C-alpha cells in the first residue's frame, strides 16, 4: 500500500474545475515537503505545484500559475490542489508526493513518498 492517496480526478470540459486531494494512508509522520506532479502517456513527469509546509511557501509551474492553487488542512495532513480554467494540455495522471525533509528544488522528483495517481482528463 502507498503512504499517500490521491482523489478528485475526473473528466471535464475545457474551462472546468477540479479539486484534487492528497491524504496520508497508514503510518504517518511530519512531512515538510509536498508536491503534485503529472505525467501524460509518452511524456516526462513534470512538477505542477509544491509547498514547504513549515514555511507555508507554495510554488507553481509557469504553465499553471494563476489557474491552480494549493491549500492545506493541517489537522488532517491533507494537501489540496484547486484547478481552475482547465485546458486540454492539463490532461495527465496526477501524483501526490511528500518527504519528511525539505526537497530542494521543490520540483525535483526525489520525494520519498508517492501516491497511486488520479486521472484528470480535459476534453470537449
State the average pLDDT for the chain. Answer: 91
Least confident of 20-29, 42-51, 71-80: 20-29
Q: Which of 40, 124, 47, 116 lies closest to 81 in space, CA to CA?
A: 47
**1: pLDDT confidence band, cut at 50, 70 and 90?**
very low
**2: pLDDT confidence band, cut at 50, 70 and 90?**
low
pLDDT in tens, 45-71: 999 999 987 767 899 999 999 999 999
**Cell 520525494 sits on residue:** 111
Q: How far apart are CA 73 and CA 111, in angstroms?
A: 20
Q: How far apart are CA 3 and CA 50, in angstroms?
A: 18
Q: Which of 19, 95, 41 lies closest to 9 in space, CA to CA?
A: 19
SS (H, E, C) the chain: CCCEEEECCEEECCCCCEEEEEEECCCCCCCCEEEEEEECCCCCCEEEEEEECCCCEEEECCCCCCCEEEEEECCCCEEEEEECCCCHHHCEEEEEEEECCCCCCCCCCCCCEEECCEEEEECC
- Please give the average per-residue pLDDT across 11-26, as a whole number: 92
Q: Are 114 and 25 in contact (CB under 8 A)?
A: no
Amino acid at each position: 500500500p502507498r503512504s499517500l492517496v490521491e482523489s478528485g480526478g475526473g473528466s471535464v470540459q475545457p474551462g472546468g474545475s477540479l479539486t484534487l486531494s492528497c491524504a496520508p494512508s497508514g503510518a504517518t509522520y511530519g512531512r515538510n515537503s509536498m508536491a503534485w506532479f503529472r505525467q501524460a502517456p509518452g511524456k516526462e513527469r513534470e512538477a505542477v505545484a509544491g509547498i514547504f509546509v513549515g514555511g507555508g511557501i507554495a510554488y507553481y509551474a509557469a504553465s499553471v500559475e494563476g489557474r491552480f492553487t494549493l491549500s492545506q488542512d493541517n489537522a488532517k495532513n491533507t494537501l489540496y490542489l484547486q484547478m481552475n480554467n482547465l485546458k486540454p494540455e492539463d490532461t495527465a495522471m496526477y501524483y501526490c508526493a511528500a518527504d519528511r525533509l525539505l526537497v530542494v528544488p521543490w520540483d525535483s522528483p526525489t520525494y520519498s513518498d508517492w501516491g497511486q495517481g488520479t486521472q484528470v482528463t480535459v476534453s470537449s
